[in-house]
Amino acid sequence: MTEDETGTDDEVGDEADTETDTDAETGPGPDPDMMQSDPECTEFSELEVAWNIDSAVPRVVRGEDLRLTAEDCEDAEFEDPDNLEDAALAVAEALRPLYGLGVEHTFEVAFVGSDALGFTHVRLTHHYAGVVVSGSQLIVHFDGSDRAYELNGHLFPVSGVDVTPTSSSDNAEAAAQVDFDQAHPGLVGAASSLELVVHVTEGGPRLAYAFDMSAGDLLWRRYVVDAHDDSLLVAVSAAREGLEPEPGEPATITGQRLAGEGGGTVERTGWRGDMTSTHHLFNQDSGLSVHDAVDCGSFEPECINEPTSMWGASDPFGLSGFANLLDTVDYFQTTHGWAPAKVPRMVVRFPNDCFGPPNTNAFFLPGYAPADLILVTVPAPGDSPLGTTDIVGHEYTHAVVNSTAGLIYQGESGALDESFADIFGALVEFATQPDDAASYPAFSPGSADWLLGEDRGSPFRDMRDPAAFGDPTRYGGNNWADTSEGAFDFGGVHTNSGVQNQFFYFLSEGGAGNNDGIAYDLTGIGRAAAAQIGYRAMTVYTAPSSDYADSRQAWRSAAIDLGGEHLAAVEAAWEAVGVGACPTWFPDSDMDGFGDTQAGMEACEQPPGHVDVGGDCDDTDAARFPGAAEVCGDGVINDCAIVFCDDDPNAPDCVDVEDFCGTPQIAVVMGQIQVSWTTDCLLQTSPDLVNWTDYRGELDVQGCEQAAQFTPGEQLFFRLRTH
């Protein structure tokens, strides 16, 4: 994938890394939306699988306990049965055949997280021939009883990659320096954290060097450079952490909010320095602070401060940003139990011309130290400041995504990143401001609604009606942006966020109407319930390369975990935005137009060699299919119409039929019913049927519907069944 400058976030930006989790309520159960797998190991047939037809690997594998599958199918030996990391690796290794992976594909534990349900989630990095595959990840999920109930993720089944580089890392650094010079003229970048990776592009997998390059405190970039031809594959912004203020003690700071948020008085706990008695925008409990940049490459080590605790109207931009950052962290901790190891600890206010002409913008810049940054520009001439609640909440959510799902900022995964940030930016606003959604499309300063960025003077996105700002409301529908490599805005990440934004509004609020050609009539579940499902989908079930189909599965799995009460609502809301359950396709080996029902797979596009009609009783014989002409005496049932009464061929109420046609003769001989045909077939039923003299059904023999007299008693109509 070709990426560039994740910090150029049209009012809000981002990128990706590793993980943690938290949440609430009951446990997972069977999932009717999943298809049975096509077995290689016989135990695989008992698994429920949703497939990614593009890569021919599962999106989700669900079972009673995948640990038992690992033991039964691969004779897996758990080094420590109580060690879930060991168990997760064993599950992944055992299911390699289901993913079509050879022994050159291996896995390593990247992160282990737990949540309020008592569930454990083990994220695994994927390696090919000992080299990590960027963005390829599996997640093994264990319930409170340590039962491995689900495996999901987005995996790239790469093959044929030459993992021996033909160009040196020095050449890769030189290629990156050319880009760094263009982004920051006159600065020399220093490379660090270099590793060899398999990087998947639209043109296929490529061996590459991945590393950081930095100059100053703020100017960090992440590079991926081809290890054979030195071509630049990725250039992504990053950042470092700052410093704490002088020694002192907590103190209340009082001042005025931004006019766009109502301009009222706000109080927050900041910091009073011992030596100067100045009051800093630094909070000791959370470690959060607000700084001014010195220039485009560095920031003041000392927090924004004033000589008194009563700031008045001296810096509403800085004080609002500080208050909103504290409120956002409180929302995630209080509502979702978020306890991160690595989060944005600072908002840095920096010049508006660091990335080109003056532009009012906000960014999340992931660092490779213990903290990340949120950067907010000084407003360009005529613009309003961006330190408002939903914008700060949006940027902070990028950090949550970065620490959990690690979504790659490109194409559909980047659009999901932007959408999650919009969703939780809006939720933070609803949690901290008066609800004014009823005034839509009007809005008032300092009030919560479904608009993004409205408190800066004018909104830039609308979750209730994304199309109002030119964003799509249906997957692949009107306004859908080009997601290919090199396309504008990293493949339309801001534009295409509209689809999941619309989904979340539908899930929360419901409604009826027509969405870009899709009729819908939905009952909302409320923002609180939708937020819990969304947080779990984002932090537990979303992987770095997840696309919209993966996200639907993530929200479904989260809803199931939380008791299943809202599963139908989740599915209906996704249907309303064009991301519904894909059709089931059946392999048609004999090409008679009917497929093998037992090997069906869910896919949104028709796989080669598959049809959408099942029911073939023998997919190796083109003369046998539903509706085929019966051939008398050939020893088989051609039209597949006759099946056993139930799954047990020895059941007493079943009739065993081989091959028959013509007019049946029915008689009672020694207390048993005998049925014979003009061919050489003779069938005998159970004695139970002797007393069914007034049974009313139909005689359905190879398409011939006929009634026969039966003595003693009334007419007997019945249906013969066999395999």
Identity at 157, one-letter amino acid code: P
The conformational region for residue 160 under phi > 0 = left, psi -120 to 50 = alpha, else beta, is: left
Q: Which helix (H) or strand (E) holds 362?
A: strand 362-365
Alpha helices in 519-666 (DSSP H): 527-536, 548-561, 567-576
User: Which of the residues 121, 184, 494, 610 is marked catalytic?
Assistant: 494
705 flagged as catalytic: no
CA gap 110, 92 in Å, rounded: 13
DSSP state of 468: G
395 flagged as catalytic: yes
Give me the DSSP letters along 40-52.
SSGGGGGSEEEEE
**How big is the chain, counted in residues?**
723
Residue 13 structure tokens? 């930006």
- Nearest CA to 332 out of 562, 60, 21, 593 is that of 21
DSSP state of 118: S
Side-chain-facing half-sphere of 126: CA atoms under 13 Å: 28
Residues 550, 415: contact at Cβ < 8 Å?
Answer: no
Distances (CA, A) of 521 to 47, 509, 510, 628: 33, 11, 7, 42
Whether omega before 441 lies within 30 degrees of 0, making that bond cis, reads: yes
> 234 burial class (0-12, 13-18, 19+ CB within 10 angstroms)?
buried
- Nearest CA to 363 out of 442, 444, 296 is that of 296
CA gap 272, 279 in Å, rounded: 4
- Nearest CA to 343 out of 298, 289, 299, 402 is that of 402
User: Which of the residues 395, 418, 429, 571 is marked catalytic?
Assistant: 395
> Which residue is it, tokens 């050159």?
104
| Phi/psi of residue 300, nearest 5 degrees | -65, 130
Q: Which residues pair with 282 in a beta bridge?
A: 289
Question: E-strand spans in 524-563?
Answer: none
Any idea which residues carry the catalytic annotation?
395, 494
